[in-house]
Amino acid sequence: MLHGGEAEGELLVLEAPLSFWGGLDPATGLVIDRRHPQCGESVAGRILALPGGRGSSSSSTVLAEAIRSGTSPAAILLRDVDGIIVLGALVAAVLYDRVVPVLCVEAGAFDALRTGARVRVRADGSLHHVNGVEP
């Protein structure tokens, strides 16, 4: 667990790493990186699973701004730890008391995640399928 908290929502599994700056519009929650395979998808309110971060140092500010604006994912699941993403969630919690948990998910479990499945993140950092099937 990188940043603790509870969340529930529908999974969006990204096929490639994303730079939140230049890749996510914090005003809308849409993926705007035209080279990303899931450009145009909305992350708002979903449980965003991504292999890792990429690119800009400003990604932490863009995530914090998305959390402030209510366009952010409900939680973030990372295969590879990315300090820049953790920072955005951490600072938004300090400034606005809004918690978006960030978890590191081991590679095998990450590969089993499927877009559309409904999952819950518990405060202890565990991840559960809402309909009973463990992810």
Partner 1 sequence: MQILVRMAEVAGAERFIDITCAHIDSCLFHGQAGLDFAERLAGAGGRVAVPATLNVSSLDLLHPDLYRGDAHTARLARRQMDAYVAMGCTPTWTCAPYQLVERPGFGEHIAWAESNAIVFANSVLGARTDRYGDFIDICAALTGRVPDAGLHRDANRRGEIVFALHALPRRWFTSDAFFPILGHLIGGRAGRAIPVLDGLPAPVGEDALKAVGAAAASSGAVAMFHAVGSTPEAPTLEAALQHEPPAAHVDVTGAMIRAARADLSTRHEGPLVAVSLGTPHFSIDEFATLLPLLDGTVFATGVDVYVSTGRDTWEQVERRGWGQTLRTAGITVVVDTCTYITPILRHDRGTVMTNSAKWAYYAPGNLGVDVAFGSLAECIASAQVGRVVRDERFWDDA
> Catalytic residue numbers?
56
Shortest distance (Å) from residue 47 CB to partner 1: 20
The nearer residue to partner 1, 7 or 84, going by C-beta atoms, is 84
Residue ranges binding partner 1 (CB under 8 A): 2, 17, 19, 21-23, 26-27, 32-35, 39, 52-62, 64-65, 67-69, 80-84, 86-88, 90-92, 94-96
Token pair for residue 132? 């009973």
Q: Find out whether 127 and 103 touch, Cβ atoms under 8 Å.
A: yes
Q: Find out whether 127 and 102 touch, Cβ atoms under 8 Å.
A: no
Shortest distance (Å) from residue 132 CB to partner 1: 31
The nearer residue to partner 1, 10 or 125, going by C-beta atoms, is 125
Shortest distance (Å) from residue 117 CB to partner 1: 25
User: Distance between CA atoms of 56 and 34, rounded to whole angstroms?
Assistant: 16
Neighbours of 130 (CB within 10 A): 13
Token pair for residue 81? 């730890």
Q: Find out whether 74 and 100 touch, Cβ atoms under 8 Å.
A: yes
The nearer residue to partner 1, 57 or 126, going by C-beta atoms, is 57
